[in-house]
Amino acid sequence: MTSTTGSATGRLDLLGGVADYAGALVLEVPTRASTTVVAEAADTFTVGPVHLDVDELTELAGLPYPELRAALAPWPRWTHYVLGVALVLARRGEVAPTPVRVSVTSDVPQSVGVSSSAALEVATARALGAREIDPLRLALLCQEAENHVVGAPCGVMDQVVVAMGCAGAVLPILCRPASVHPPLPLPDSLEVVGWPTGAEHDVSGVPYRRARAASFMGKRIVEHLADRRWPWVSSLPEDALGELPDALDGATFLDRYGATDDPVTTVDRVETYPVRAATTFGGAEHRRSHAALDALRRHDPAALGPLMADSHAAYDAMGLGHPAAGAAVDEALGRPGVHGARSSGGGSGGAVVVLCNRGALDDVDGLIR
């Protein structure tokens, strides 16, 4: 091998967002912006300041994930995404460890919640030789790298749309654990754009972890009260959610109910969790996404406005809002040609997503398409 290249886009989260980890339907749109990774033959596996020979790479791939994360800790965090993908591919027998020099170029904005990390992961996998892997499996392997090597508890929607999305179309993804519906092309008169808020987003941050853990705490409480199990947070019966507490501290939860069944978050005894809002979000967003998909199919973009507004309010209720996101949504909704706007992705700032007439926001600096 002399060199191979892989590329992948970012994504805009029209509806669904953090309901992906709840097993909900989400509606995603790939960006025009993309990341390109080139892997050139070399003497060692090299990414940034990291240099590993094949034996070292193989040894790392065999470590338990907690030990692997500790081993990567001295190196810059961005390299963990590249190394994570390489190590997971080797661990799963998909691509043999190979000495290459990895270089990255990207115009996907970072830290604004448009899946710059997933774009890097999928582009890396493709550059390392994973082109023949089924795209859905490739997405799941990249999610494994982010969850267990990087240590960021993302759901699956980012990697799936980055690996499987079609330009100019909404990709419906049922995150149970991941199945893809046919893409729905947007009418030429409409576009989905990202409006940066100026506040950085981080899917590994405290608000996201708190909201995710809270939703699985709620699931555990409902199951305890009903003496039965459900496979997904979004499949919990609505009439059972009324018994959930608005908030609950970690110590009380752990003492009464034990651990959750979420493998990538833990409940902190001294933290207080928004249990009702976070648990309710999964099923409510699942229903909103179905309603939005129906509206798009019947060419009724105005019907998405109330659905996006409800989703935005639900982000605020479970602690994933941000004053800058609220201001951006308000400004967007005050402009002609805008049908809806909401906090998106992991929330906590980043970019809000806007459904609008094509060209309605062309004067906004830094708009993401």
Residue 168 has pLDDT above 90, yes or no: yes
Q: Nearest CA to 20 among 281, 239, 276, 220? A: 281
Write down the domain spans for the chain: 3-185
Q: Tell me: the pLDDT tens digits for 314-349? A: 999 999 999 999 999 999 999 999 999 999 999 988
Average pLDDT of the chain to the nearest whole number: 96
Residue type, 235: S
User: DSSP class of residue 368?
Assistant: B
Residue 205 has pLDDT above 90, yes or no: no
Q: Nearest CA to 341 among 301, 293, 287? A: 301
Helix (H, G, I), strand (E, B) or coil at 54: helix
- pLDDT-derived band at 214 (thresholds 50, 70, 90) equals very high
Q: Tell me: the pLDDT tens digits for 37-94? A: 999 999 999 999 999 999 999 999 999 999 999 999 999 999 999 999 999 999 999 9
pLDDT at position 200, please?
Answer: 77
CB 348 within 8 Å of CB 320: yes
Helix axes 250-257, 206-226, angle to 10 degrees: 30
Q: Percentage of the chain surpassing pLDDT 90?
A: 95
Q: What single string gives the DSSP state of each residue in 135-190? A: HHHHHHHHHHIIIIII-----SHHHHHHHH--TTEEEEEETTTTEEPPPEEPPTTE
Q: How far is CA 319 from the centre of its chain?
A: 17
Q: Positive or negative CA dihedral for 143, 149, 153, 158?
A: negative
CB 184 within 8 Å of CB 296: yes
Q: What's the pTM value of the predicted model, to 2 decimals?
A: 0.94
pLDDT at position 174, please?
Answer: 98
Residue 111 has pLDDT above 90, yes or no: no
pLDDT at position 202, please?
Answer: 65
pLDDT at position 275, please?
Answer: 98
Q: Tell me: the pLDDT tens digits for 186-201? A: 999 999 999 999 887 6
- What residues contact residue 212 under an 8 Å CB cut-off, 6+ apart? 18, 21, 153, 262, 265, 278
- pLDDT-derived band at 203 (thresholds 50, 70, 90) equals low
Residue type, 220: R
Residue type, 70: A
61: its two tokens: 């791939």
Residue 281 has pLDDT above 90, yes or no: yes
Measure Cα distances from 119 to 48, 165, 320, 350 in Å.
18, 12, 23, 16
Q: Which residue has the tokens 């947070």?
A: 233
Distance CA 31, CA 199 (A): 20
Cα angle: 179, vertex 184, 188; to 5 degrees = 155
Question: For the domain bounded by 3-185, which CATH number is listed?
Answer: 3.30.230.10
Q: Percentage of the chain surpassing pLDDT 70?
A: 99
